[in-house]
Amino acid sequence: MRFMYAVPPRLRCAVSIRLPLAVPALALCMSLTIAFAAHAGPAPAGSPRHMSDAPSAEAAPTTTASALRLNEFLAGPARDWDGDGTVSTRDDEWIELVNTGAAALDLSSFYFTDGDSVPRFAFSGTIAPGGRRVVFGSESYAWEKATAHPAFGLSLGNTGDQVILWQVVGAESLEVDHFTYVSHEAAADRALGRVPDGTGDWVLLDALNPYTGSLIPGSTGCAPTPGSANTCSATEARRVSWGGMKSLYR
């Protein structure tokens, strides 16, 4: 028979083996799984255990419930968001997490990736109930260099990407939270945030660069608030032509 075994995407290959019909396929599958798991090697030094085994963007990841949530992020910085005196498209990107629970959380098992599932930052310390944790691209870049990961910062795409929060549980990396955004949401100094914090819908925070298009989410006129509560109370504006406006009053 012809037995095909698909190797995990990070190994970038596949195996095709021709065997007699008498060889049990299950035994072969088990032996190949063990062999390739051994070949993959351990996670890089300084990383949470099995952090490098985050499911690829093509796979459907296993999820887990947590009070820690993605809360706000900005992918297209055009000003000095991290306060180091220099405007940098890498260092001034940022993400914000919020603890929606009633107890403090240990952050040491959590890490962040963009859509390619490459670890961009591993968290440490604790976060208080209702607390926020902001990570700038400069902090991500320093962590990547210190832990021998590819050093690109948060690497948030400006034409669309994903923000993904993971937790290492036992031998697995489980998805905690994610959001997929598109290009108009990643324009200069536009952020996306949940309103209310941690539990609400994602809205466009575009006060610094108003969005005048018709895509969803639309403009709110609210400003990004890294490290502070998302208190935007504006209703998204829907563009209507003059003819459409007149028709409402006929």
Residue 7, phi then psi, degrees to nearest 5: -80, 145
For residue 15, tell me if it sits in a domain. Answer: yes
Nearest of 112, 79, 77 to residue 186 by alpha carbon: 77
Mean of the pLDDT values across residues 223-227? 97
Q: What is the model's pLDDT at position 48? A: 52
- Considering the domain architecture, whether residues 167 and 139 belong to the same structural domain is answered as yes
Confidence of residue 62 (pLDDT cuts 50, 70, 90): confident
| pLDDT given for residue 61 in this prediction | 67
Average pLDDT for 219-246: 74
| 25/83 same-domain check | no
The answer to whether residues 33 and 58 belong to one domain is no
44-48, 49-53, 68-72, 131-135: which has the minimum mean pLDDT?
44-48
pLDDT digits (tens, 9 = 90+) for 170-212: 999 999 999 999 999 999 999 999 999 999 999 999 999 999 9
77 and 138, same domain (yes or no)? yes
Residue 81 forms part of a structural domain: yes
Instruction: Answer for the pair 3, 15: CB distance below 8 angstroms, yes or no.
Output: no
Co-location of 73 and 169 in the same domain: yes
| Residue 39 predicted with pLDDT over 60 | no
Picking from 168, 183, 205, the residue at the C-terminal end of a domain is: 205
> What average pLDDT does the chain have?
80
**pLDDT tens across 120-154, in order?**
999 999 999 999 999 999 999 999 999 999 999 99
Q: Are residues 188 and 75 in the same domain?
A: yes
* 242 located within any domain: no
- 219 found inside a domain: no
User: What is the distance between the alpha carbons of residues 153 and 138, in angstroms, rounded to a whole number?
Assistant: 6
Segment 44-66 mean pLDDT: 59
Q: How confident is the model at residue 56 (pLDDT cuts 50, 70, 90)?
A: low
pLDDT-derived band at 41 (thresholds 50, 70, 90) equals very low
Give CA–CA dist 186/157, Å, rounded. Answer: 8
Going by pLDDT thresholds of 50, 70 and 90, the confidence category of residue 51 is low
Q: Are residues 72 and 125 in the same domain?
A: yes
Grouping H, G, I as helix, E, B as strand and the rest as coil, residue 167 is: strand
From the list 213, 236, 210, 238, the residue with the least C-alpha distance to 223 is 210
Calculate what percentage of the chain has a pLDDT beyond 90.
Answer: 66
Do residue 133 and residue 57 come from a single domain?
Answer: yes
Higher pLDDT, 106 or 11: 106
Looking at the structure, tell me whether residues 152 and 32 fall in a common domain.
no
User: Are 79 and 30 members of one domain?
Assistant: no
**What pLDDT score does 55 carry?**
56
For residue 35, pLDDT beyond 50: no
What confidence score (pLDDT) does residue 102 get? Answer: 97
Banded pLDDT at 65 (limits 50, 70, 90): confident
Q: Tell me how far the alpha carbon of residue 75 is from its chain's centroid.
A: 11
11 and 66 part of one domain? no
Contact 153, 162 (CB under 8 A): no
Tally the domains of the chain. 2
Helix (H, G, I), strand (E, B) or coil at 61: coil
The reply to whether 212 falls in a domain is no
- Reported as a pLDDT band with limits 50, 70 and 90, residue 233 is confident
Range of the domain at 88: 51-205
106, 153: one domain: yes
